[in-house]
Amino acid sequence: MSSEYLSEDPSMRACLEESSKCIGCGTCLTNCPVYAQDHREEVTARGRNRHIGDLLALPGSEKAAGDIGKCLLCGRCTMVCPRGIRNDLIVATLRQRLVARNGLPFAKNIAFRKIMQDRAMMGRSVRMAARLQKFLPGEACVVVGNAECAAVPTVRRLPLFFSALAKGRRLPAVANVFLSETLPEFIPTAGHFGVCRRVVYFSGCATEFVLPRTGEAIVRVLTEAGMDVLFPHAQGCCGLAAFANGDAETASAMARRNLEVLEKLEADDIVTGCATCGSALRDIWPRLGRDPEERARFTALAAKVRDASEVILSAADPGAFPCRSRLPRGTTITWHEPCHLGRHQKVSREPLTILRRTFGEDFHELKETGCCGFGGSFNLYHYSTSKAISALKAQNLRETAAECVVTSCPGCLIQLVDLMARHHIPGRVLHLAEAITFRG
């Protein structure tokens, strides 16, 4: 297939144009966590850009197809690229080409098109896992969430719904009661502050089904900070996992369903505490519209999306900083910056400012902001590489000597639990909102 033919397709043309900006400098190689383990240029941004025509024309070999899958979409290559090339979008387009040729693999087809697209079905699947997980051993080394749930074994080995792929992983236990079963659709402000904003809370699937206490904590902080919170129960999966795996059609259907729900609500901001969802809503949804009008609607919605840390900090009076720790006095913490927050949304300052000002000398900063190695399905299909990448994170976490690791992405949290347990780093992993209160 010639590149002339490819250039007739708008998404292929955009991919070719983006890729053509590459000047071959190689800066991305030295910053790519996968290359640091794999040492093959084929898995890097430059390697793909050099052969983009052949790759878009569909790689014949299994190895070439596998290399397209071997990217975390962490965004580090884009961050350092002198041309600002969106290599994550190039990879997503290449994966779409593979799906167009081969169809979705069976497991991804079930996951994206049958389960994640249907909230009720996802709920039933997780409920079944929640019943079965009690037969699995708990893990005492790492605790998920705030002290209030310390008595519950919140980390389990080999959860059954991942058993074929688990390979000894530790995962947070899934919830028995989901977030939408405990939170109503309207939560009024706790009234500590005079200025009341009206915000929509977009929870994301992992917070709804696995980490509902995180969702409760985010809504609590928002209401403490003077916000009325709308929590539409009809919201669904953001679709980022489907998009990242080349299933743009399902991702677009998921995004459109959410658009219908969110557009109807009158609110100042759409707030999420999930870095991955935030990145989807802000950056990916506007690319999933089927025509200019739909893309404009997504773009208008994206302009209202904020990470929880952004709205918390903007509500805070810098002169009398209102946030206080909810952890026992003297508890030391560190911060793991999710790639989908720092790189994809460029939100770095806000969580750092909140944590520095809230915890003072008890905040022990990590010396890097590197990827934890999760990368969604990357973690399932390339677990040995994922573990190797996470070993560096484990070493740096140990050096901080912090008792708690704070983050704001359920995917990172899952990886942190696993890497800390494997490296025998005792501690607690929790969301930023679980660590603070906005008392005013």
Contact call for residue 341 and ligand SF4 (CB under 6 A):
no
Contact of 157 with 167, CB cutoff 8 Å: no
Among 125, 95, 96, 100, smallest CA distance to 110 is for 125
Binding letters toward ligand SF4, positions 18-57, x by CB under 6 A: ----xxxxxxx--xxxx---------xxx--x--------
Report the 10 Å Cβ neighbour count for 120: 7
**Between residues 215 and 375, which has the closer beta carbon with respect to ligand SF4?**
375
Give me the least distance between CB of 391 and ligand SF4, in Å please.
16
Contact call for residue 73 and ligand SF4 (CB under 6 A):
yes
Q: Contacting ligand SF4 (CB under 6 A), which of 59, 75, 145, 236?
A: 75
Those residues whose C-beta lies under 8 Å from the C-beta of residue 132, and which sit 6 or more positions away, are 160, 161
Contact of 33 with 373, CB cutoff 8 Å: yes
The one segment of 54-62, 78-86, 143-151, 250-258 that binds ligand SF4 by CB under 6 A: 78-86
Contact call for residue 88 and ligand SF4 (CB under 6 A):
yes
**Between residues 82 and 191, which has the closer beta carbon with respect to ligand SF4?**
82
Q: Quick one: CA dihedral 401, 406, 412, 415, positive or negative?
A: positive
Report the 10 Å Cβ neighbour count for 16: 18
Taking the C-alpha atoms of residue 235 and residue 255, their distance in angstroms, rounded to an integer, is 10
Give me the least distance between CB of 372 and ligand SF4, in Å please.
12
Binding letters toward ligand SF4, positions 177-196, x by CB under 6 A: --------------------
**Between residues 80 and 267, which has the closer beta carbon with respect to ligand SF4?**
80
Sheet containing strand 227-230, strands side by side: 186-187, 227-230, 197-202, 269-272, 305-307
Determine the size of the site formed for ligand SF4 (CB under 6 A).
28
Q: Contacting ligand SF4 (CB under 6 A), which of 85, 199, 313, 430?
A: 85
Taking the C-alpha atoms of residue 440 and residue 375, their distance in angstroms, rounded to an integer, is 37
Q: Which residues lie near ligand SF4 (CB under 6 A)?
A: 22-28, 31-34, 44-46, 49, 71-77, 81-83, 85, 87-88
